[in-house]
Structure 1
């Protein structure tokens, strides 16, 4: 809102020579790590499988502020006007018919799914404006007999509205398709949202506002002003002090309860900041929604001279605003000298950096389900969370899903070289969580150097050396045993050099108590929300196997299942079908589709229908480590599981009550047939699996571990 930007906080920078040396050392460590991993992948997956893992993700499409379509003639323009709109878009106007027409044309072309009506409030415009507006089909029009200004016009439009939400929209804007659906989705995703604002972009493509900041002295600042709109700092859902009334949504009932925009700030300026303060006084949140993009031709309607015309009220109303909110500002807001970045995180508990090999893809692997749940829990505990994957790739909808979760998700080209990025940002973090030894190993020294105040957690995900060792023992692979021993030394070294270590099961914690007796090891297992109430025994049939085929234990499991277990099952019950779900199946597994009662589905984005259709989940894993997400997922949905001891390791499952367990093909087939035919046993296993999930694998089971860690960090 104000033209004078706050001074940025001072930031220490390393010398170019030091950064170059650090980058050289990091690249050497990373190259060694990649070579080890590449060799291991070649041995296990072969050349084709290894090359598939190296396939890069396409870069994100940069934002371009496209010119709006030439407006139709007023008599040809048609706007939707449903009987029960979800949103009422209020556009105040005073003259400027060309601007208004371009705005309305963009609304007509937006393609949003949400039903909306458009209310234009003509604020005593010069002759001719009302007549041209009256020719637009579907438009609801109100004419003010005298000039009421922005505040009076918005309140007058709100009195006519029928939608569940009011959307305030300047007439000097053009909306980007999908803007309204994204804006309203904020209220669905975050039920405590009282107001939500769009990303405002200048016509030349620069960012105008990523939410508003209010400083202690009443200075209001558009966060990200003149920055690039694709910068990760401005592309995640975030709580803010206020959002500009140029594109702002609020529940109609809340707007009425608050008395609308306050005429104390008439005719305009600071009314949106005041509204944000009143929303937050109600115990609700104001959120910035980056997926809702609106191009704002700022100044086209009100001018830009702060000493003349409408803009002159800006300085006057700042004094009024401070007079009303002085106590809150002094107690809870930062001075301008703190800088915009610090002020944008006001009230956050801790700053947390999370690193992993890949962006979480929860429809593809269980590790992603766990990581996504961890990120969500950290956000729920009031932390600012930054994330990037090992390659710095932008992974399309998966990256955008993290941003919608409220995670500051970094990617190329914004990430740049890791040493330089950490030199710039590392000192601000209180906690770093690095998942997998392959990720932490190359960067540990950089983290210690550039994030000296941060507690470092090594999240093993599972003990990789244990999985490698078991695979090598099963195959009689002496070279594999030597590789597993190298991985063991690497993991134990990282455990010794980290402040804390997370494993996913009590069995692994006990193992580390012997191998690394001085380490601080905690259990942060898989995380699943129990989903009760699915179809019963009689409405289901068939078996379900779920597992991504980049993971070698899943390949081995399906081959064993198809060759030795399923033939025994179908010899006694020929009608039983096996559904195999997982991306990137090897050719021999893909070829099983349609033969001997096997359906190979490949990648299935939404497993819910199969989880509700099948009678049993099977997990015949012969090697592996950690807690198996496929088992957790089935139990959390009340789907009984037949598994090997390896598959249920560390899951606290009671045999015969919460799962059936068998390790040889004949016993496994017998267990499948028994559970598939016995309704009483099926029901007992279903209820037991849900109870196990609630006790050991729900978010509430993990939350105390995270809280204890966060409580032990120094206060900001």
Structure 2
């Protein structure tokens, strides 16, 4: 008797995963590992160039196949692969390749992995820029933090990015959402059907080694990929407002800032005399986090949930952040540190955690409890697999009920198909039938 074939999965990545450089890549790797444990046959493709710190996908048994934008060779590739599931990593990949997947493999389940709602993050960034233009107060950003979902909707709804991102969500059979807050935003304000969304947060194992004790730890730590705009903004807020307030109370305090792809503008902020150390990339982020006494994440905008704060919990390192940093991360559970809204509150909380061992230990314990209640790989991995399998079985019903998605696919794929043909033809110095008036 022939054995049933392993489920074939094609993942189309915005970049090649670099889990040591960004939480988004870390989340993609967690999803891939869940697929590997299921015994699925996985191919990872991306049009991106190689990064500096790529994951070793081949060690997991995952094939790596580079692809190109606007190149019909992808059609042959995906047709021959004949995947059962196609996972688009970020909505731009669905825009570029979704119509080709549907054309060649119409029965493949289409899944979108968001990491965060980019349209939400960009709307919040714009709101911060507007606020900084009208006021030179660099300390109190209370009005920016955790507004009502309706307010978020009103800032997002007229943007091109939101329309593109929401269209991609509708065109897919299922979208993986890392933040419950973003699910509620999509359902309550954008009226996205809840059955098109699946909560899939960061998935980890609980720490098994004892934490380095309070008295053996030193320094504050900030970490994050510098290509991610919220991380760079957080460093600027630390430099200009928060760190001077901490140093007033702890004159010998040291802050170590780690981040992949450190630009010259970041290294220019290094000032050893002020205890402000820009350290570049950390070879082992968990090692440096485990040695720090307090993690600081003063995020003034952003979306999704924060990998650096999950890493802090895994290392037993209490943190101080903002409502943006903590959003969607703890539900009704106590926060493993402090959530603050002004530079002074942030500094005061950071100093208290740094000096007060009991407060520090209570926060550390809260972090372990939070991990066990919301982020266990053994909880979320099997649930994700079961949801994908259920969607495969119900795919015809899902697509019939999602008429808006069907309509959007029809119009998007027709127009994108013509555009791709036009680009390829232009590259060959010929034009497809239909004239030359199309861009």
1:528 partnered with 2:204: yes
Please identify the structure whose Cα radius of gyration is greater.
1
Report the equivalent of 2:306: 628
TM-superposed CA distance for 1:656, in Å, is 5.9
Measured at CA, do residues 397 and 366 of structure 1 come closer, stay the same or move farther in structure 2, by a change above 3 Å? closer
CA–CA distance in 1 between the matches of 2:109 and 2:23? 26
Does 1:406 pair with 2:61? yes
> Which string of whole-angstrom CA distances, capped at 9 and with x for unpartnered residues, describes residues 71-101 of structure 1?
xxxxxxxxxxxxxxxxxxxxxxxxxxxxxxx
Q: Distance in 1 between matches of 2:259 and 2:168?
A: 32
Find the aligned partners of 1:687 and 1:693 in 2 and give their Cα distance: 10
Q: 1:497 is matched with which residue: 152, 155, 171?
A: 171
CA-based RMSD: 2.4
Structure 2: distance between partners of 1:371 and 1:463: 15
Distance (Å, rounded) in 2 between the aligned partners of 1:394 and 1:666: 42
Which residue does 1:301 correspond to in 2? Answer: none
Q: Given that residues 468 and 484 in structure 1 are in contact (C-alpha distance below 8 angstroms), is that contact kept between their aligned partners in structure 2?
A: no
Q: CA deviation at 1:504?
A: 0.7
Find 2:375's aligned residue among 692, 697, 706. 697
Structure 2: distance between partners of 1:374 and 1:382: 13
Q: In the alignment, is the contact (CA less than 8 A) between 1:390 and 1:439 conserved in 2?
A: no
Q: What are the residue-to-residue correspondences of 1:223-622 with 2, within 5 Å?
A: 331=1, 334=2, 349-391=6-48, 393=49, 398=54, 401-411=56-66, 417-425=73-81, 428-476=82-130, 485-514=159-188, 515-519=190-194, 520-531=196-207, 532-593=209-270, 594-622=272-300
Deviation of 1:373 after TM superposition, in Å, equals 1.1
Q: What's the offset of the Cα at 1:653?
A: 5.7
Q: Paired residue for 1:676?
A: 354
2 CA distance for matches of 1:590 and 1:403?
34
Cα distance change of structure 1 residues 474 and 484 upon mapping to structure 2, 3 Å threshold: farther
Give 1:141-180 correspondences, 5 Å limit. Answer: none
Change (3 A) 1:617 1:484: farther
CA contact (8 A) 1:524 1:702 kept: yes
Indicate how the Cα distance of structure 1 residues 641 and 470 shifts in structure 2: closer, same or farther if over 3 A, else same.
same
**TM-score, L = length of structure 1:** 0.49
Tell me the TM-score normalised to structure 2 length.
Answer: 0.78
Higher helix content, 1 or 2: 2
How many corresponding residue pairs? 365
Consecutive unaligned residues in structure 2, runs of 5 or more:
134-154, 395-439
Structure having greater relative contact order (Cα 8 Å, sep ≥ 6):
2
How big is each residue's C-alpha offset from its partner over 1:433-476, in whole Å with a ceiling of 9 and x where there is no partner? 11111111111111111121211111111111000000001111
**2:152 corresponds to:** none
Match of 1:666 in 2: 344
Alpha-carbon separation, structure 2, partners of 1:599 and 1:682: 23
Q: Kindly indicate whether the alpha-carbon contact (under 8 Å) linking 1:469 and 1:484 is maintained by their aligned counterparts in 2.
A: no
Tell me the alpha carbon deviations over residues 186-232 of structure 1, each in whole angstroms, 9 at most, x when there is no partner. Answer: xxxxxxxxxxxxxxxxxxxxxxxxxxxxxxxxxxxxxxxxxxxxxxx
Contact 1:645–1:662 (CA<8 Å) still a contact in 2? yes
Q: Unpaired segments of 5 or more residues in structure 1?
A: 1-330, 335-345
C-alpha distance in 2 between matches for 1:583 and 1:437: 23
